[in-house]
Amino acid sequence: MIDYSWLLVAIPLASAALLLLLGRRADAWGHLLGVLAAAGAFVVGLLVFLEVMGQPSEDRIHDVFLYSWIPAGDLHIDAGLRIDPLSLTFVLLITFVGTLIHIYSIGYMAHDAARRRFFAYLNLFVAAMLLLVLADSYALLFVGWEGVGLASYLLIGFWNHNLEYAVAAKKAFVMNRVGDMGLIIAMGLLFAAIGSVSFTDVDAAVTAGALSTAQVTAVGLMLLLGAVGKSAQFPLQAWLGDAMAGPTPVSALIHAATMVTAGVYLVVRSRLIFEASPTAQLVVACIGAFTLLLGAAIACAKDDIKKSLAGSTMSQIGYMVLAAGLGPIGYAFAIFHLVTHGFFKAGLFLGAGSVMHANGDSTDMRTYGALRKVMLVTWLTFGACWLAIMGVPPFSGFYSKDKIIESAFVGEGWQPWVFGGAALIGAGVTAFYMSRMFFLTFHGKARWVEAGATVAPDDPRPVRHPHESPLVMTVPIIVLAIGALGLGFALTLGNGITGWLEPVTGHYDHDAHHAVLPVPVITVTTLVLVALGIALAWRQYGMSPVPLTAPTGSALTRAARRDFYADDVNEGLVMRPGQHLTRTLVYADTAVVDGAVRGTASGAVGLGQLARKLQNGYVRSYAAMILAGVVLAGIVLHLVRM
């Protein structure tokens, strides 16, 4: 089955091509084909997974050669797939969550005229994402990397008739390009240094010490730049909030569960490079720690349910990046958290989509409230995911996030205290903003009016008719909620996920290293902080009435509402200088380059005009020229001879 793993990429890609090429003829059944393609990829992934599971641990890494892709002299790149526990984990996550979200989209996009196109893009995304995680070289990974960027762009701007959404898509695309530049530079550095970009060769070269520390650090930082762009980490985090302009299933699949975690995948996949460069590794951890707090702060301030979830995603990926930056101790936990996060965050997004669906596509949490009575299934599933993300035992987030917090406290010097403290505070803030979201949406008093009810004319509350979503939408959420509930426990059974990932992440003896604080102390502190966060949120949003319009708030809240002025910083530091630079370049192009070209032309014309004067038609002038030539030749010959 491993030899047929190319089907993983081929099936969704073929489906996407078919849906796009057939056009409106496929409108009637296009969504079903899309779901089938995703499900087919999942089945193939599952078969491959089972086969690999049946092999001994040390034989679980397979390289599947597909074809010679770029045979250009010294640059020889083969297209091949890397089947190993890491890529298979991603394959299963992508195809399983992807299939669920495909099914959910049938209901969510039921009223959209372009549903077929939506499914084509989703399939395209799945194919590109699978190519990204299955690639056996940075070059092929880059193809998938760009493919998911393209799919992300297409899907964020799916409703591009709305100018804001189109701008958001463009913003995401452009900011991702900044990261991609880092990836390209990293590939260039690797190729210059070792002449290959395949994982096998790079790992071998790094292990053999073929690269100097400076080179490794440069490669690591450039890879990190790519990861930061794709995973919306500081300083390239500003696009993720705007990316919520896309349909909610897109936010769930691309901007929560899979694509944004590609940065974490890249760091873990390149772990040998980062291990060889402690500087780069430290930068990774710092960025993760900083972003987890930044994202949490943004999530606390937003009233838009999806943007709040986007801040939360940023924060949770910050945890993963932090874990990946901690070294061998954290890789498995980063991937573990990535998987559980994929489930519960997708569940949260789908739940949010369900709530929006019921509330006329309004995303303002201040107009929700008391929805648990009318949306029981959504309330229950959202609640499960809410408990999971906060890390409440025995939900899955507890198993994964707690491990990361524990790992952050391992080490020497200032690092465990800073990283551990950040992770700990992040857990508390996570509890606060998730509880705030949960209570604002499902509890408290209704801040809307049931359609048909008698209303006072000066009532500012919007008229709504909330209702439970159809089965096709609720079933996937239920499945995801079950995953959020039990996945953590299931995967830790008998060292499940760490043992499974060991061929890739390397062996780490957890008993040999100890945290600076006793593990029970850390766990209890975390749970206390979580409880505090929930209580605070309940006091503020559960018990007391919530105003329809947001209060002014503190300076921190105002800053967080504006994403800590990330847009202003980007515009001031990058966009405007860029525009000025472009204008200068255009001017330089017109004046200097074009001027040179035109100057050459007019110079040639002028010379021609001068030469034309010589061609006056008088035979005697021509004779004079001939004689002048003779005289000159005579002089030259004479001089040369002398």
Partner 1 sequence: MTLLHYLVLSGVLFTIGAATVLTRRNAILAFMGVELMLNSCNLALVTFSRIHGTLTGQVMAFFVMVVAAAEVVVGLAIIVSIYRARRTVSVDEPSLLKN
Partner 2 sequence: MDTAVGTGAEAVIFWVIGPLMVIAALALLFARKPVHAAVGLIFVMIGMAFLYTTLEAPFLGVAQVVVYTGAIMILFVFVLMLVGVDAADSVAETIAGQRAIAVLLAVGLAAVLIGVVVTATLPTAVGLTDANAGTNPVGVAHEIFGKTVFALELVGVLLVIAALGAITLTHKEALSPARNQQAAVRLRQRAYARGEGSQVLTPLPAPGVYATHNAADVPALDPQGNPIDVSVPRVLRIRGQELAPSAVDGHVAEIAQGAYLQPRPTSFGELAGETQDPPTQSTASGPAADDPTASGPTAHETTRNTAEETQS
Note the residues at the interface with partner 1 (CB under 8 A): 615-620, 622-624, 627
Sites of contact with partner 2 (CB under 8 A): 616, 618, 620-621, 624, 627-628, 630-631, 634-635, 638, 642
User: Is the link from the previous residue into 476 a cis peptide, with omega within 30 of 0?
Assistant: no
User: Of these partners, partner 1, partner 2, none, which one is at the site of residue 617 (CB under 5 to 8 Å by kind)?
Assistant: partner 1
- Residue 589, sorted as left (phi over 0), alpha (psi -120 to 50) or beta, turns out to be alpha
Q: How far is the CB of 641 from partner 1 (least distance, A)?
A: 16
* Residue (414 or 618) nearer to partner 1, CB: 618
Nearer to partner 2 (CB atom), residue 208 or residue 614: 614
- CB distance 5 to 41 below 8 Å: no
Residue with structure tokens 């002014």?
Answer: 552
84-to-54, 58, 63, 503 alpha-carbon distances in Å: 13, 10, 8, 8
Is the separation of the CB atoms in 190 and 204 below 8 Å?
no
**Residue 386: HSE in the Cβ half-sphere, 13 Å Cα cutoff:** 22
Looking at the Cβ atoms of 394 and 634, the one nearer to partner 2 is: 634
Question: Smallest distance, Å, CB 630 to partner 2?
Answer: 7
Minimal CA–CA distance to 349: which of 471, 239, 255, 235? Answer: 255
Which is nearest to 197 in space by CA: 79, 288, 29?
Answer: 79
From the list partner 2, partner 1, none, pick the one residue 615 interacts with, judged by a Cβ distance below 5 to 8 Å according to partner type.
Answer: partner 1
622 contact, one of partner 2, partner 1, none, CB 5-8 Å limit per kind: partner 1
Q: Which is nearer to partner 1, 111 or 612 (CB)?
A: 612
Q: Work out what residue 619 binds among partner 2, partner 1, none; the CB cut-off runs from 5 to 8 Å by kind.
A: partner 1
Q: Which residues pair with 137 in a beta bridge?
A: 198
Do 194 and 210 meet the contact criterion of CB atoms below 8 Å apart? yes
Q: Nearest approach, Cβ of 634 to partner 1 (angstroms)?
A: 11
Please identify, using beta-carbon distances, which residue of 29 and 622 lies nearer to partner 1.
622
Q: Which does 586 bind (CB under 5 to 8 A by kind): partner 1, partner 2, none?
A: none
In terms of CB distance, is 552 or 616 closer to partner 2?
Answer: 616
**Quick one: 454 or 615, whose CB is closer to partner 1?**
615
Tokens standing for residue 579: 């525009």
Minimum Å distance from CB 603 to partner 1? 25
Contact 357, 450 (CB under 8 A): no
Which residue, 572 or 634, is less far from partner 2 as judged by CB?
Answer: 634
Least distance CB 610 / partner 1 (angstroms): 17
Which among 409, 402, 410 has a CA at the least distance from the CA of 427? 402
Q: Look at residue 524 and give the partner it binds from partner 1, partner 2, none, a contact being a CB closer than 5 to 8 Å depending on partner kind.
A: none
642: partner contacted, choices partner 2, partner 1, none (Cβ within 5-8 A by kind): partner 2
Question: Could you tell me which of 190, 177, 160 has the C-alpha nearest to residue 236?
Answer: 177
Binder of residue 607, out of partner 2, partner 1, none (CB less than 5 to 8 A by kind): none
Please say which residue, 21 or 623, places its beta carbon nearer to partner 1: 623
* Nearest distance, CB of residue 609 and partner 2, angstroms: 17
Of 519 and 623, the one with the shorter C-beta distance to partner 1 is: 623
CA–CA distances in Å: residue 87 to residues 95, 261, 335, 489: 12, 13, 11, 22
Question: Nearest approach, Cβ of 579 to partner 1 (angstroms)?
Answer: 54
| Apex 515 CA angle, 513 and 521, nearest 5 | 140
3-state DSSP assignment of residue 486: helix
CA distances from 584 to 292, 345, 528, 591 (A): 39, 45, 57, 10
Min separation Cβ 612 and partner 1, Å: 10
Kindly state the smallest distance separating residue 630's Cβ from partner 1, in Å.
8
The one of partner 2, partner 1, none whose footprint includes residue 640, by CB under 5 to 8 A per kind, is none
Q: Which long-range contacts (CB under 8 A, 24 or more apart) does 545-549 make?
A: 545/444, 545/445, 546/366, 546/369, 546/440, 546/444, 546/445, 546/447, 547/366, 548/366, 548/367, 548/447, 548/460, 548/461, 549/366
Output the smallest distance, CB 611 to partner 2, in A. 17
DSSP letter at 517 equals S
Write down the least CB distance from residue 73 to partner 2, Å: 58
634 touches, from partner 1, partner 2, none (C-beta below 5 to 8 Å by class)? partner 2
Question: What separation in angstroms does the CA of 66 have from each of 136, 145, 196, 348, 541?
Answer: 10, 19, 17, 38, 56
Residue closer to partner 2 by CB (options 111, 638) is 638
Residue 635 contacts which entry, partner 2, partner 1, none (Cβ below 5-8 A, type-dependent):
partner 2
